[in-house]
Structure 1
Amino acid sequence: MRKRPSDLIVVIPYHPRPAQAQIHPQLESHRFSVLVTHRQLGKTVCAVNHLLKKALQNTRPHPRYFYIAPFLKQAKMIAWDYLKRYSAPLPGAAVNEAELCVKLPSGARIWVCGADNPDALRGTYADGVVLDEYAQIKPDVFTEIIRPMLLSREGWAVFMGTPKGQNAFFELFNRAQKAAQKEPGVWWVGVFRADESGVIAPGELERLRRETPEHIFRQEYLCDFTASAENILIPIDAVSASCARTYGPAELRFAPKTIGVDPARFGDDRSVICCRQGLKAFEPLVFRRLDNMALADRVARQIESFRPDAVFVDAGCGGGVIDRVRQLGFCVTEVPFGGAPSHPGQYANKRAEMWGEMAAWIKSGGALPECPELKADLCQVCYDFDAAGRMRLEPKEKIKERCGKSPDIADALALTFAAPVRPRACASEFARSEYDVL
């Protein structure tokens, strides 16, 4: 590597494996890269050396680069030693243990950070960023914090990880594949499986296959995003098929209209309004940091424009919204997610029942909007059965811990299945016919 501004050649003690040698040219030639790898490929070593090379080659003043893992402790354990080891041969390189930062002789700096404190990155810029184990990083960290950091310097980003089911990393993987078709010089997607990379010896890989549960082996070593779908309530294939369906106004003419409202539970959750008419769900309305009064106003406006036959609101955190909407003269039904289901022998609680009915609707002809966030929410909820054989869902707290966010958008759509709904038009026509007969 060439150190600016002199012609000194600096040799870093890094000898890329064949798989890493395939990755480096792609990272060099694309602004955005999504790297899906099996365990023990060496993606972190690859990324650290990519950061070093780009930092040394940067001729701009004060270059800044960041390696980001889901948690600071994890980032320090995974990447900090690698960064110090590979930067050690650089004359004049300075290591700051307190800040987990290496200052290179060129003036560039590389930080090792955790996504668990993303606000610490606000207000700065970046020439390049590596986001490792992206499946465990909240998507908002990139969209709200990292992406703006790249604007002034037109910086690059590498998203890396091993599949962990159909979560935000899976959605990014799908979007990146589409983007790579439209902008092949900007986006690159690479998938490196253990049975193809040559990193793990065939005999050792076969032992891993025998000793590891099948779904874990497929996920961790064969990079299969659907491997853990055995207990996923709504598989991604069903969601994709639902998004491809379309229904015209004539086909929905006599179908009932429902609205589901899921008010935000915590500061970083989303308030969502979902509208559905029969077999068609419409694009959800998603709000962040909206107080109850403002959300109630949005709900009232949506009721006036959509003219639903029923409105269901999550009672858990929607008390203020429910009271205000009723005060405005609209009829709404509060739904406790932990309440008793209409089919107590089949479902453990109301939440499981709504999701179960929604899953059946999706699989039997329901049409979903092409909304990436909704698709991700739908495909991340797991289920099992209690001692009585009733279906129950994974607690929201565990979903949020695993995926970084609560499935708020899908919850709002599930609320439209809280109870059977009859269209008012049909009800009034039925009443007239009964009267006429009498």
Structure 2
Amino acid sequence: MGNSRETLIELPYRPRRLQALLHRKMRRFNVVVSHRRFGKSILGINHLIRAAASSDLPRPRFAYLSPSYRQAKSVAWDYLKHFTAPIPGAQRSETELRVDLPNGARLALLGADNPDALRGIYLDGVVFDEFGQMAPRVFSEIVRPALADRKGWALFIGTPRGRNGFYRLYEHAKSQKGWFTALYKASETRILSRSELEDAQRSMTPEEYAQEFECSFQAAVAGAYYASLVEAAETEGRIGKVPWDPRLPVHTAWDLGIDDATAIWFCQQNGAEVRLIDFYESSGVGLDHYARALQARPYVYGDHLLPHDAQVRELGSGRSRIETLASLGVRAKVGRALGIEDGVNAARLLLPRCWFDAAKCARGIEALRDYRREYDERLGAFRARPVHDWSSHAADAFRYLAVGLRMNGAARAMPEATVFEYDPFAW
């Protein structure tokens, strides 16, 4: 168990050939792309258990991170209980989804749906399950610093869902010293029989099969609203360096969160061309924080476009958020209440006109790629509403931009000449 009097404990885990190979080959940072039914969740859980049980660090901490806390419970909790059952003295907490081992190590299941709740922890090892469904900043801003002082390790496992954050991490890792990468297709692993794969092909679209079983990052994401349009923008060179032009006003579009994130797009117009020059998102802070974020930038602002519910008065203060922003020096306009589908259609019409700054808008672009319809497992069909996750805030803000941004004419050069009547359908 990692101390001077080691005890041999046999766990009920018999790794497949490829799983055993991965356990031996992995380094400090690892990205494993695998097909469905490869056994990646069992692999990740047992990699954590072995590391935790053999650790001789003081109070070692390990985590299994899923896109949501609910997913962590449904996918990994039974595995964690099952594979730690033979360890004498292991204590399990159903309410906190954690197992404490007798050497002081703790294994916890966590969700990435509230990234800021992860701040302040330290980790000696972490498994990211389906990293492509998480906000990319979960690793770069939050978990990576948590691994720093004790030189903890990370394992990213998942199946492709388009060219999202998981794809970019995999491509980045392939050229990085100290990183290990692997990709396992169902046609090559022989874990699933040929007849099973042939049956799957008959019941799935070619894109679905290519993604789920052949690990194709190029296949279209099922239910995605904007992924193909963002892909087109990248192919056409409209995602790159887009400098701020001080001769043009900067307009902003907001999605205002209450208990979650607030997202802001910054754009400039030059005729029919819309330049997305900046993006900002945060959570757990007041409106004064966002007012300061605007003031800290060198831009001269035109319109600030807010969703229609920004004018609803809050019970505590008696003021609406648009009134609060006005008191902070941000004079905003409120858009019409439109259904999601109408707003999505407006965004689809706007996207071919857009140029994105790849660096400053990276998080927003990633969200647009990942924004998708909710899938009803029981009915086997997509619902009319989108999934509410980390990508929703940026996508909603972009939708408000599409509805509220006037496109019928060139933007004027001076900010005092850019006050226009709000007409969501002018273009």
TM-score (norm 1): 0.72
Among 219, 224, 232, which residue is 2:216 paired with?
A: 224
Q: Give the % identical residues.
A: 28
Partner of 2:171: 177
Q: Distance in 1 between matches of 2:186 and 2:409?
A: 51
User: Bigger shift: 98-107 or 35-44?
Assistant: 98-107
Instruction: Note if 1:131 corresponds to 2:119.
Output: no
User: Bigger shift: 11-20 or 190-199?
Assistant: 11-20
Matched residue SS, 1:20: helix
Q: Which has the higher strand share?
A: 2
Residue 332 of structure 1 and its aligned partner are, at CA, apart by 5.8
Q: Distance in 1 between matches of 2:117 and 2:364?
A: 29
Instruction: Note if 1:272 corresponds to 2:264.
Output: yes
Residues 93/44 of structure 1: CA separation in 2 closer, same or farther (3 Å cut)? farther
User: Bigger shift: 374-383 or 287-296?
Assistant: 287-296
Contact persistence 1:67–1:111 (CA under 8 A):
yes
Contact persistence 1:125–1:149 (CA under 8 A):
yes
Partner of 1:374: 364
Instruction: Note if 1:316 corresponds to 2:308.
Output: yes
Count of aligned residue pairs for this structure pair:
392
Residues 286/132 of structure 1: CA separation in 2 closer, same or farther (3 Å cut)? closer
Instruction: Note if 1:240 corresponds to 2:234.
Output: yes
Q: Distance in 2 between matches of 1:403 and 1:34?
A: 22
Q: Distance in 1 between matches of 2:345 and 2:143?
A: 38
Q: Residues 255-404 of structure 1 correspond to what in structure 2 (within 5 A)?
A: 257-278=249-270, 279=273, 280-292=275-287, 295-296=290-291, 299=294, 305-307=298-300, 310-319=302-311, 333-336=333-336, 338=338, 349=342, 351-352=343-344, 354-362=346-354, 366-370=355-359, 371-382=361-372, 395=385, 398-401=386-389, 403=391
Residues 47/12 of structure 1: CA separation in 2 closer, same or farther (3 Å cut)? same
Partner of 1:21: 20
Partner of 1:342: none
Contact persistence 1:163–1:220 (CA under 8 A):
yes
Give ranges in structure 2 of 5+ residues lacking alignment: 312-319, 374-382, 417-427
Q: Distance in 1 between matches of 2:222 and 2:73?
A: 32
Amino acid corresponding to residue 14 of structure 2 in structure 1: H
Q: Residues 16-55 of structure 1 correspond to what in structure 2 (within 5 A)?
A: 16-27=15-26, 29-30=27-28, 32-55=29-52
Residue 72 of structure 1 and its aligned partner are, at CA, apart by 4.8
1:120-139 Cα shifts (integer Å, max 9, x gaps): 76654321122323344455
Give ranges in structure 1 of 5+ residues lacking alignment: 340-346, 384-392, 429-438
Matched residue SS, 2:267: strand
Amino acid corresponding to residue 369 of structure 1 in structure 2: A
Q: Distance in 2 between matches of 1:246 and 1:43?
A: 38
1:9-45 Cα shifts (integer Å, max 9, x gaps): 4444433223213322343x12x22322221101122
Matched residue SS, 1:283: strand
Residue 60 of structure 1 and its aligned partner are, at CA, apart by 1.5
TM-score (norm 2): 0.74
Residues 369/354 of structure 1: CA separation in 2 closer, same or farther (3 Å cut)? farther
Residues 211/312 of structure 1: CA separation in 2 closer, same or farther (3 Å cut)? same
RMSD, aligned CA: 4.1
Contact persistence 1:193–1:221 (CA under 8 A):
yes
Amino acid corresponding to residue 82 of structure 1 in structure 2: Y
Amino acid corresponding to residue 173 of structure 1 in structure 2: Y
Among 64, 67, 90, which residue is 1:67 paired with?
A: 64
Q: Which has the higher helix share?
A: 1
1:73-122 Cα shifts (integer Å, max 9, x gaps): 543443334334433444x3424254544444544332344556777766
Q: Distance in 1 between matches of 2:5 and 2:55?
A: 13
Residues 81/293 of structure 1: CA separation in 2 closer, same or farther (3 Å cut)? closer
Q: Distance in 1 between matches of 2:390 and 2:241?
A: 33
1:213-270 Cα shifts (integer Å, max 9, x gaps): 3333223222234332675334242242345555789xx799x645123142333222
Residues 115/322 of structure 1: CA separation in 2 closer, same or farther (3 Å cut)? closer
Residues 118/404 of structure 1: CA separation in 2 closer, same or farther (3 Å cut)? same
Partner of 2:180: 188
